[in-house]
Chains A and B, each alone.
Chain A
């Protein structure tokens, strides 16, 4: 096994009754890198994080964090990790400052060190102005930031972020991404779970896609996207007979051949270059008299990844087949 690995997971199994939440997972995360654990609800992402952060004991398999076994050396593991769960675990009645001070002291820091570190993190997470207000008054985004700040208080070597942006509005989400990127530059090893491909794409060095408790694909974001396909233009026409003419007009903009689907009156064209290509395409069609019902620029999302890897939608619960 690689000595530089911050997280090593071998054949991890955890069952709840009949459900095998983890069905033999292997993972390896190098120090100072970010692994994105990508999967739909119920795929086993949260269970994996709970095992790695010592909350849950695995039924079989081994997991080590900086070389420490999570089952047999739980206390030592707890001293080097930070955990931010799916629900912002902050005490509503304590102020932001008091929350951080408390967690720092429970990390066995002296009260003075805990206070100094709390002030430093509040500043860094843009919460200094709200430091003296009970967390009850915080917005969702502020609570998440406070929660992450709490998990960073003892400068963890490994940080677990379980769906850090779920439920946040787009602006808070973008802000959260920037905060997480800042952590990476500090050299923290991060395991991040997410349902969003764009989030994994932006934050993770490597991605493991999991479904039904198994890893069904792994690689960099580019490698996964190469499997799934990149962005594409989609046109839906009023009349299917116009499809060949549309293809003649827009195909030169694409990076591959367009595909036509007569029953849905749809043309799909792989492209690169984003909205500029879309505008260009619309210019070309403008005087053609082709009646367009719908047009859009589509990027691959989790559903596309799942469609490609498993042949089913991420929200379905049909049995997954392990790809060859």
Chain B
């Protein structure tokens, strides 16, 4: 059966919803603007960095955090589809069994692209600049979106298992908030307690952030080489994570989708 065409139909359905639900667009645009402004002027005023302004240090980190949070909507949206009987309807149609999940995870990256554009514009307004070539810049965005896409598949499984949109949203906040903070997203990790620093070094959120910083040219010229392999090769390390997460959660989510109607 036609995975591609069915997935496109589902993606279109989900993108239409983005256009028609103002809350989603507000969440995807206003909250990134708010975060950039708050961190830039509140934290930025107190965090002295060597060789680079805080705006340039901040933006890659806050982009990473925002697209990861953007991907959590996958779980809530699938739980909502289950609750409203839409998954039952889809399961009764002669369509590809993966299309509902592919269409969902892809559409959620569309929303992430909107967030990214808004944040880059806000960043430009508060002093952030990219100093790299166009291909590097594009690669940075692709690394961010690839990681967010893998998180979407993880959240798909969570949504299909938990089945209650509110619980999915609260639970994912509790996990993802610390995950994006125990990292190099907003402050250098050098002065973290040892345990936290090691965790932060190998946290894929750090490597995503580091990859974006390097590819945007947002690293200090005299910055020392990071100790951890993960941060020396942030793009590769991030893509390894993306591969592992997808290899585990794509089959698990599809299996859970097939079982979800059997109750």
Please give the residue numbers on chain A whose beta carbons come within 8 Å of chain B beta carbons, in ascending order: 16, 50, 53-57, 75, 78-79, 81, 83, 85-94, 98, 102-103, 105-108, 134, 150
Contact = CB atoms under 8 A, between A and B. Distances in A.
A106 B6 contact: yes
B16 A105 contact: no
Interface stretch (B39-47, B81-89, B230-238): B81-89
Contact of A50 (B2, B86, B93, B261): B261
B89 A98 contact: no
Contacts of B9: 102, 105-106
Is chain B's binding surface mostly helix, strand, loop or mixed? Answer: helix
Nearest to B97: A75
B94 A89 contact: no
Contact of A108 (B86, B92, B94): B94
B16 A98 contact: yes
A135 to B, nearest CB: 11
A56 B261 contact: yes
For the complex of A and B, 6 pairs with smallest distance between CB atoms: A89-B85, A89-B89, A55-B261, A78-B94, A93-B17, A79-B94
Given A102-B9, A107-B94, A83 B88 contact: yes
A210 B220 CA distance: 75
26 contacts: A50-B261, A54-B91, A55-B88, A55-B91, A55-B261, A56-B261, A57-B262, A75-B1, A78-B92, A78-B93, A79-B94, A83-B92, A85-B85, A85-B89, A89-B84, A89-B86, A89-B88, A93-B17, A93-B20, A94-B13, A98-B13, A102-B12, A106-B6, A106-B93, A108-B2, A150-B89
Contacts, number: 76
Contacts of B262: 55-57
A29 B153 CA distance: 42
A78 B97 CA distance: 12
Contacts of A86: 85
B13 A91 contact: yes
Interface in B206-263: 261-263
A317 B17 CA distance: 43
Contact of B89 (A57, A83, A94, A105): A83
Nearest to A56: B262
A134 B20 contact: yes
A56 B13 contact: no
A55 B89 CA distance: 9
A88 B84 CA distance: 8
Nearest to B261: A55
Interface in B13-27: 13, 16-17, 20-21
Nearest to A111: B9
Q: Is the interface of A mostly helix, strand, loop or mixed?
A: loop
Given A108-B1, A108-B2, A54 B92 contact: yes
A78 B85 CA distance: 17
B86 A91 contact: yes
Contacts of B95: 106-108
B132 interface: no
Interface in B71-125: 84-86, 88-95, 99
Which of B5, B86, B93 has most A Cβ within 10 Å?
B93
A106 B6 CA distance: 6
B159 to A, nearest CB: 17
A300 B261 CA distance: 36
A114 to B, nearest CB: 9
B4 to A, nearest CB: 12
Contacts of A85: 85, 88-89
Given A94-B16, A134-B20, A103 B91 contact: no
Contact of B92 (A53, A90, A93): A53
Contacts of A92: 84
Given A50-B88, A85-B89, A108-B1, 6 more contacts: A56-B261, A78-B93, A81-B92, A93-B20, A103-B93, A108-B94
A130 to B, nearest CB: 15
A79 B94 CA distance: 5
Contacts of A150: 89
A150 to B, nearest CB: 7
A106 B16 CA distance: 17
A108 B16 CA distance: 20
Contacts of A87: 84-85
Contacts of A53: 92
A138 B91 CA distance: 24
Contact of B263 (A16, A81, A91): A16
A50 B85 CA distance: 12
Given A56-B261, A89-B84, A93-B21, A102 B91 contact: no
Contacts of A107: 93-95
Contact of A55 (B1, B12, B16, B92): B92
Nearest to B18: A93
A145 to B, nearest CB: 15
A44 B99 CA distance: 30
A101 B20 CA distance: 18
B5 A105 contact: yes
Contacts of B263: 16, 56
A53 B90 CA distance: 11
Contacts of B261: 50, 55-56
Contacts of B2: 108
B258 to A, nearest CB: 10
